[in-house]
């Protein structure tokens, strides 16, 4: 036996897409992950900028409420989310699942972004105001371009959570056609339990997008770690 195969056989990947329905589940996971990450980036950056730079009544209370939400484990929120989605008629819909996943990663993302925004010199914002930028203009043209390292961490962190989530999807979705990619792995475990080459092909397909995303964001993540250590 050897870690390096004598010949490469890509037939298992084709069978995985055909037999396990990987193509449908793969597209579902791509849609969910991109939507969740974009939603979290938009909402978390706006909230973090408000908590870091703006002064309004109850700012600290609201911030600590978001931080307290980090202590609640994800399974602990399943029941209220299920009830809420039923009342809003969003259960068994892609929108309901995306909103739930945005809620899962929002608190941690706000904390990471707010902490990074606090370290950005306010003089840079003054220069933006001199150039005629509004508060949103300062966030878009000054703060976010300087925050690429922490944004990379937020993107990878939330993409990993959204890509690997299965239990919440199992609770929200009744239709198998709406399930994410992890559903396909459960299909293989049920139908192809002893066919390990096929199961390994499915696991490779599942892990590959996150590995590629991490490689693309790696230099920003390392830069963020170094800058945090210096500051």
Q: Which residue has the higher pLDDT, 135 or 39?
A: 39
Q: Which residue has the higher pLDDT, 224 or 201?
A: 201
pLDDT at res. 227 = 55
| 156-173 tens-digit pLDDT | 889 999 998 888 888 888
Give the integer Cα–Cα distance in Å for 113 and 43: 11
pLDDT at res. 231 = 47
Q: Of 1-5, 55-59, 105-109, where does mean pLDDT reach its minimum?
A: 1-5
CB 36 within 8 A of CB 158: yes
Which residues fall within 8 angstroms of residue 93, CB to CB, at 6 or more apart? 178
Q: Note the Cα 156 to chain centre separation in Å.
A: 7
Q: Which CATH superfamily is domain 16-230 in?
A: MetI-like (1.10.3720.10)
224 pLDDT higher than 90: no
Residues of the chain with pLDDT > 90, as a percent, come to 19
Question: What's the pTM value of the predicted model, to 2 decimals?
Answer: 0.85
Please provide residue 180's backbone torsions phi and psi, each rounded to the nearest 5 degrees.
Answer: -80, -175
| 176-202 tens-digit pLDDT | 888 888 876 776 665 545 567 777 777
Domain boundaries, the chain: 16-230
Mean pLDDT of the chain: 82
- Would you call 207 helix, strand, or coil by DSSP? helix
Give the integer Cα–Cα distance in Å for 74 and 117: 27
């Amino acid at each position: 036996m050897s870690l390096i195969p004598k010949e490469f056989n890509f037939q298992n990947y084709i069978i995985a897409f055909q037999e396990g329905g990987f193509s449908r589940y793969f597209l579902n996971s791509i849609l969910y992950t991109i939507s969740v990450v974009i939603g979290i980036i938009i909402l978390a950056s706006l909230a973090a900028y408000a908590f870091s730079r703006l002064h309004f009544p109850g700012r600290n209370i609201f911030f600590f409420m978001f931080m307290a939400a980090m202590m609640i484990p994800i399974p602990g929120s399943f029941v209220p989310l299920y009830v809420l989605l039923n009342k809003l008629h969003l259960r068994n819909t892609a929108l309901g699942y995306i909103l739930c996943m945005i809620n899962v990663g929002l608190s941690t993302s706000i904390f990471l972004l707010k902490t990074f925004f606090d370290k950005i010199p306010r003089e840079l914002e003054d220069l933006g105001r001199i150039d005629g930028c509004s508060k949103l203009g300062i966030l878009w043209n000054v703060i976010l371009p300087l925050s690429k390292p922490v944004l990379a961490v937020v993107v990878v962190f939330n993409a990993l959570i959204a890509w690997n989530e299965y239990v919440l999807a199992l609770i929200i979705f009744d239709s198998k056609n709406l399930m994410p990619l992890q559903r396909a792995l459960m299909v293989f475990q049920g139908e192809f339990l002893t066919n390990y080459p096929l199961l390994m092909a499915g696991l490779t397909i599942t892990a590959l997008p996150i590995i590629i995303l991490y490689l693309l964001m790696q230099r920003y993540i390392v830069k963020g770690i170094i800058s945090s250590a210096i500051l």
